[in-house]
Chain A
């Protein structure tokens, strides 16, 4: 126990400023599904670095195991009707990057969630790249807008039209 106390003193001396400035990512107040984007609002600069050393992360109530129903999750697992939109919400920047080159694991994962079959994957990737300016029409598109425009893009593509209802 002595060692632990010494360490606390040492750590607090070492990182007073950082520690004060640190803010843990608070759980989404609404308990809803905006988790993906809300989670990281405070994760910039010194704060996450200090947190990373002092903790092994802070548990989000939403993802607590066997906790019953909470917003968009059941016992910690995202409900199936939320899966795609929550994925898009949590990976918007990555998806934008991937769609700009028509490749990448975020885009692969999205294809999987929508249920795109292997023979249609290349077309799907190409369609997102060709229509990047429609899907990410502005720098600050919302998740809903991305979902809506992606639906339209798929619907207007003869090969991919059947998938437009699976988003």
Chain B
């Protein structure tokens, strides 16, 4: 490693040493650049990924790769970097398969400086950069699309998801989009342990790199295997903007950035590519701490004139649901029997049906069989699915793939991801005011438009309360992590719901003291649609929950309990949702006691970004029951 660094340093310094003293033209260019103050221009700062420090003054580049800079202090000194970059452009090194001439290696910088300083080709000859132009020619770019896969079934965490850019070729259309390439930003590693990956990824332990991948591999990953609906935002970038984007992608190719899951993630870096493409776009400024992919999509959609068209691509599971909705139970039962190998494609129950119905059943059976196999419940052999396709190919009937309606609310149009609530209430006869801050992201009571129904994920929710007569505000709750998956089961889909909650909360002890304690709780559950309803609009559910409470107030400092939770979550109207649930936990280990509660929550949406929330609550911890009622105004921002 040190050897490579020294080599890189030598390479990047060589031209300076060679040219600095006797190249009059370089002196001239440097003079002009200083006069025009190019080093402080937004284009240059974007190309080098300079960002101001969050704390303090000055700036540094987010790139962590010394080879990305031509000046030794290029990471922090934009002017020195610009001048050193001009110097290396005089290199006449031949391009090889692994090493490029600096003009090609930094081709976006080259073209911007060439334009600004009107390079004289006689005194600064332009290099052919064959590899870059060949690469661009094979991509044949025409349009850029921002691709956003939504969260997938039963995994709320995937809401944090990905974004990627797609390069649409000139002769490509909607039907052949699989042939496009995608630009994604990902952690570059061969690490195969997910645990190590997760931990190191969060701390920036892996270099992030840009990759260009056939889009069909991405579609397979998201739409087919993970069953995520995909939203494609076609952008209005002009040919010269696309050129800049590709040049900069090329420049970034071998450069590594420390990869952080939370901020310097894929979404953030893709936005920075767009900023380079269209100077004047300000997309990354607002993401100093969190770059949530759906927020980055929102940032793009909010730029006037940047989005041309939005296309929705349903996942396999969504298509299966659509097929089911159009089908009678008896037919879908046959499809399930075929997919689960309980009957063969030669069965009379199938053959006595009209051809078109047979086709619909066979297509559904195949989709469902592949869904089962992709989701790990693989009971269907390839031979079985092959038999289904063979039978289908023998039917002279047009394809029966259903049209899936586009959801009314796009991901960029849903409620915003931070929420502030101000409330008033009364508990055990004592009045209080409350403030509740949720930095991110979505809970079961929020409006689902643009989100995935039944998927809750909140980070660092905080709640403070002031009781009348008290002098101070006190922290009621701090919850670093709160995830709930509520996924209704039916004959075709049988997910196990689950929840996990980790944080600090107040507990009412027998002596009426209410200290802050640590709690980790969670468990599996089952959820079902109410008969006659679908799409999770009315769901009853049960969880088996375990909880670990810890704090100095407990005998032996802890209590471990378990017990059931049962509830009903239903929409009364588009704006009005209620959640009624009961919980009973028996703490048997540590300090033995009981905890029970009965809660009715209601949310009424006032507008897209505001709602009224009402909570009625009866709760027992240790001995006493206490009633509480609270009304709050929620504002999303």
Contact residues of A with B, CB < 8 Å?
A: 3-4, 6-8, 10-16, 18-24, 26-27, 35-36, 39-40, 43-61, 63-69, 74-78, 80, 86-87, 90-91, 93-94, 96-97, 99-106, 108-109, 112-113, 129-130, 132-133, 136, 138-140
Q: How far is the CA of A9 from the CA of B493 in the complex (A)?
A: 32
Contact yes or no, A57 B186, CB < 8 A: yes
Contact yes or no, A26 B192, CB < 8 A: yes
Q: How far is the CA of A136 from the CA of B97 in the complex (A)?
A: 39
Residues of A within 8 A of B210 (CB): 59, 64-65
Q: How far is the CA of A161 from the CA of B175 in the complex (A)?
A: 24
Residues of B within 8 A of A58 (CB): 186-189, 197
Q: How far is the CA of A125 from the CA of B391 in the complex (A)?
A: 17
Contact of B202 among A8, A44, A80 (CB under 8 A): A8
Contact of B194 among A4, A19, A75, A140 (CB under 8 A): A19
Contact of A54 among B171, B198, B401 (CB under 8 A): B198
Residues of B within 8 A of A67 (CB): 253-254
- Indicate the size class of the contact surface on chain B: 35 or more
Contact residues of B with A, CB < 8 Å?
A: 97-98, 100, 105, 131-132, 134-135, 138-139, 152, 155, 157-158, 160-162, 171-172, 175-179, 181, 183-195, 197-199, 201-203, 209-214, 216-217, 220-221, 224-226, 249-254, 260-262, 265-267, 359, 363, 366, 370, 374-376, 378, 381-383, 385-386, 389-390, 392-393, 398-401, 459-460, 480-481, 483, 500, 502, 520, 522
Q: How far is the CA of A20 from the CA of B198 in the complex (A)?
A: 10
Contact yes or no, A54 B393, CB < 8 A: no
Q: How far is the CA of A43 from the CA of B192 in the complex (A)?
A: 12
Contact of B195 among A7, A12, A91, A112 (CB under 8 A): A12
From DSSP, what is the main secondary structure of chain A's interface residues?
helix
Q: How far is the CA of A4 from the CA of B261 in the complex (A)?
A: 9
Contact yes or no, A133 B135, CB < 8 A: no
Contact of A138 among B100, B186, B386 (CB under 8 A): B386
Residues of A within 8 A of B187 (CB): 55-59
Contact yes or no, B261 A22, CB < 8 A: no
Contact yes or no, A18 B194, CB < 8 A: yes
CB<8 Å pairs between A and B, sample of 20 = A7-B481, A11-B198, A14-B502, A15-B198, A43-B221, A44-B378, A47-B194, A53-B155, A54-B201, A55-B261, A57-B221, A59-B184, A67-B253, A77-B212, A87-B179, A94-B220, A100-B390, A101-B393, A109-B175, A140-B382
Contact yes or no, B214 A90, CB < 8 A: yes
Q: How far is the CA of A4 from the CA of B213 in the complex (A)?
A: 30
Q: How far is the CA of A18 from the CA of B496 in the complex (A)?
A: 14
Contact yes or no, A12 B481, CB < 8 A: no
Contact yes or no, B188 A4, CB < 8 A: no
Residues of A within 8 A of B267 (CB): 56
Q: How far is the CA of A39 from the CA of B225 in the complex (A)?
A: 12
Contact yes or no, B175 A4, CB < 8 A: no
Q: How far is the CA of A25 from the CA of B573 in the complex (A)?
A: 44
Residues of A within 8 A of B382 (CB): 139-140
Contact of A132 among B249, B265, B385, B390 (CB under 8 A): B390
Residues of B within 8 A of A15 (CB): 198
Contact yes or no, A56 B393, CB < 8 A: no
Closest to B204 in A: A4
Contact of B157 among A53, A77, A78, A94 (CB under 8 A): A53
Residues of B within 8 A of A139 (CB): 381-383, 385-386
Contact yes or no, B176 A108, CB < 8 A: yes
Contacts A10-B480, A24-B192, A65-B253 given: A59-B199 contact, CB under 8 Å? no
Contact of B211 among A40, A46, A55, A64 (CB under 8 A): A64
Q: How far is the CA of A4 from the CA of B178 in the complex (A)?
A: 37
Q: What distance in Å separates the Cβ of B358 from its nearest Cβ neighbour in chain A?
A: 12
Closest to B207 in A: A59
Q: How far is the CA of A43 from the CA of B220 in the complex (A)?
A: 11
Q: What distance in Å separates the Cβ of B376 from its nearest Cβ neighbour in chain A?
A: 3
Q: What distance in Å separates the Cβ of B29 from its nearest Cβ neighbour in chain A?
A: 25
A-B pairs with lowest CB-CB distance, top 3:
A22-B194, A65-B253, A45-B376
